[in-house]
Structure 1
């Protein structure tokens, strides 16, 4: 259970799946850089690193794949918000997006099934 949130809230479930995704990616050899980076432009669930590449990870959970499931929930608007938040993160770290290799990965959790889509958009 996520600290500070009642067990049944969607935020608590979201944090639970973010932790699962983090553990999964650590097992795949990525290194954690930051969790839940927030700025006025949006939020990035996980910032990871593989080699010299920064990986911005969006974790999406849906109880089932009705209505398209977790993958379908990452709309063009959501992708744009993530890109803007990633640029804000890079700037906050003194990094330049033209010199820092980056990618956006998606962890989609439908029920208990996890899909990892590297370089999702």
Structure 2
């Protein structure tokens, strides 16, 4: 897959994720399965730059969670403490701050090891800022921090979701 095609898929994924008010899905099969498949194909492109690969990994993780019935609230939300990759509403009305780590392989360790203690502290601070922002006042039952890893295995992305990671 050429880089321009990967960019088109990235843009399509960004556009789909940028809608704040996406309907809560009744079942995972209602989500767009072709987007997940397109992102998986795009991630297998060995010519992708690391930033492009990471962005596709975030799009893939969000699309995968949406297929599970989750709703995207925010993507790449920036604060002075860093960036929140994805903020989602789980089907049980829990606001989940999702940190995504994407790797082409696990040669240098498992991706979740990159979510260090200092990274966790900064994510908590960023989440507090997200929660107090008046634009994000959404009825919810709880909050949680999850880590989702995306690792290519035999040219296909494999998701590992760690609910309540910290």
Normalised to the residue count of structure 1, the TM-score between the two structures is 0.85
Structure having the higher helix fraction is: 2
The alpha carbon displacement at 1:66 in A equals 2.1
Instruction: Return structure 1 stretches of 4+ with deviation > 2 angstroms.
Output: 93-96
Distance 1:104 1:31 in 2: 15
Q: How does 1:20-99 map to 2 (within 5 A)?
A: 20-50=60-90, 51-93=92-134
Relative distance call for 1:10 and 1:93 in structure 2 (3 A) is farther
Q: How many residues were matched structurally?
A: 116
Normalised to the residue count of structure 2, the TM-score between the two structures is 0.63
Structure having the higher strand fraction is: 1
Relative distance call for 1:113 and 1:95 in structure 2 (3 A) is closer
The alpha carbon displacement at 1:93 in A equals 3.0
Relative distance call for 1:94 and 1:19 in structure 2 (3 A) is closer
Q: Which has the larger radius of gyration?
A: 2
The alpha carbon displacement at 1:9 in A equals 2.4
Q: Any stretches of 5+ residues in structure 2 without a counterpart?
A: 1-6, 12-46
Distance 2:123 2:104 in 1: 23
The alpha carbon displacement at 1:8 in A equals 3.0
What residue is the counterpart of 1:119 in the other structure? 164
Distance 1:80 1:100 in 2: 22
Relative distance call for 1:93 and 1:10 in structure 2 (3 A) is farther
> Match of 1:67, SS?
coil
